[in-house]
Amino acid sequence: SSNPVTTTAQPHHRPVTRVPVQIGQRRKRIVVTGGGGFVGSHLVDKLIARGDDVIVIDNFFTGRKDNLVHHFGNPRFELIRHDVVDPILLEVDQIYHLACPASPVHYKYNPIKTIKTNVMGTLNMLGLAKRIGARFLLTSTSEVYGDPLQHPQKETYWGNVNPIGVRSCYDEGKRTAETLAMDYHRGAGVEVRIARIFNTYGPRMGLDDGRVVSNFVAQAIRKQPLTVYGDGKQTRSFQYVSDLVDGLYALMEGEHVGPFNLGNPGEFTMLELAEVVKETIDSSATIEFKPNTADDPHKRKPDISRAKELLNWEPKITLREGLPRMVSDFRNRILNEDEGKGL
């Protein structure tokens, strides 16, 4: 009958929300490559909390088992030590492809390995997605815009990238990974999603991974001067990791291929960042200027209108709110390190 009162009064017409598991809606099996790293481990936490089965693939080049140890023993969690440069056979519904060193210090350490990871690693994961019909999400980067001539950067901007420089293994690598994703999408019907991630920070960043936020926070805690490269007037936009993880999830579950900028539009010079770190950790911290690295982008700030409109996503946590949230994690790890050295 069309009378809502009679319908709800009948036990077999109970509201859907009271049914614990819907038939046909089995939980998803999800691969997270690079799940032992900073962003990947936070993503794994979210997926496990949501009730999915998660397989992490990681070669532990920059990742750490410590980031995942709280899931060991959970039957819905599986860890495979594997290098994505080599093929792998699995059966899953979704692939979040994060495997790739992200800090400039790490990706320049072995540039040939970095570009192999970006090209062969992404090719293998797309081949896997094609074979099993899985949806594939690529974590690309704001570095595809290079040293941008457009500000802020929109997804329609094609970038200003040096193809033969010391950063090229990473930024050209990620550009090729985007190309591969789009070609598998158009040519083989793979459902792809592309995120262009802007600088992200939070707990579990490598203590000495060389990125600016982790450097400044660790330096302030260790009572060392904050190392500002160049004149410190270059800018970046810093996003807290939980905002990014929410964005990656919204992108994967949504209907749009992208690419989508995922970042916090709040823009800071490195000198301003140093001031916020001083306010947050130690007002007596000093600054030491060091020469800048080659091809360092002068400014970077995402235009996130596309993600706002199509993914209904925007970051919630400002730099001043987010920084304190990583300090206790850094303090604990620095303390353990010192104890390990017998200090």
Active-site positions? 170
According to CB under 6 A, which one of 28, 29, 71, 117 is a site residue for ligand NAD?
117
Q: Check residue 293 for interaction with ligand UDP (CB under 6 A).
A: yes
The residue type of 173 is: G
326 contact choice in ligand NAD, ligand UDP, none (CB below 5 to 8 Å, kind-dependent): none
From 35, 104, 203, 259, residue interacting with ligand UDP (rule: CB under 6 A): 104
Contacts of 224 by beta carbon, 8 Å cutoff, 6+ apart: none
Choose from ligand NAD, ligand UDP, none: what does 62 bind? Cβ within 5-8 Å by kind. Answer: ligand NAD
Q: Where does this chain touch ligand UDP (CB under 6 A) — which range of 2-10, 66-74, 158-166, 210-218?
A: 210-218
Are 249 and 210 in contact by the 8 Å Cβ rule? The answer is no
Is 175 among the residues that bind ligand UDP (CB under 6 A)? no
Q: Does 229 bind ligand UDP (CB under 6 A)?
A: yes
* List 48, 161, 241, 270, residue binding ligand UDP (CB under 6 A): 270
Judged by CB under 6 A, which of 168, 234, 237, 242 binds ligand UDP? 234
Nearer to ligand NAD, 88 or 225 (CB): 88
In this chain, which of 199, 215, 237, 280 binds ligand NAD, going by CB under 6 A? 199
126 binds ligand NAD (CB under 6 A): no
Q: Which of residues 30-59 bind ligand NAD (CB under 6 A)?
A: 33-34, 36-40, 57-59
Task: Please give the size of the binding site for ligand NAD, defined by CB under 6 A.
Answer: 29
Q: How far is the CB of 305 from ligand UDP (least distance, A)?
A: 22
Bridge partner list, 94: 30, 135
Query: Which C-beta is closer to ligand UDP: that of 119 or that of 245?
Result: 119
**Residue 184 touching ligand NAD (CB under 6 A):** no
Binding of ligand UDP by 117 (CB under 6 A): no
Binding status of residue 62 toward ligand NAD by CB under 6 A? yes
Of 48 and 181, the one with the shorter C-beta distance to ligand UDP is 181
- Quick one: what does residue 104 bind among ligand UDP, ligand NAD, none, with the CB cut-off 5 to 8 Å set by partner type? ligand UDP
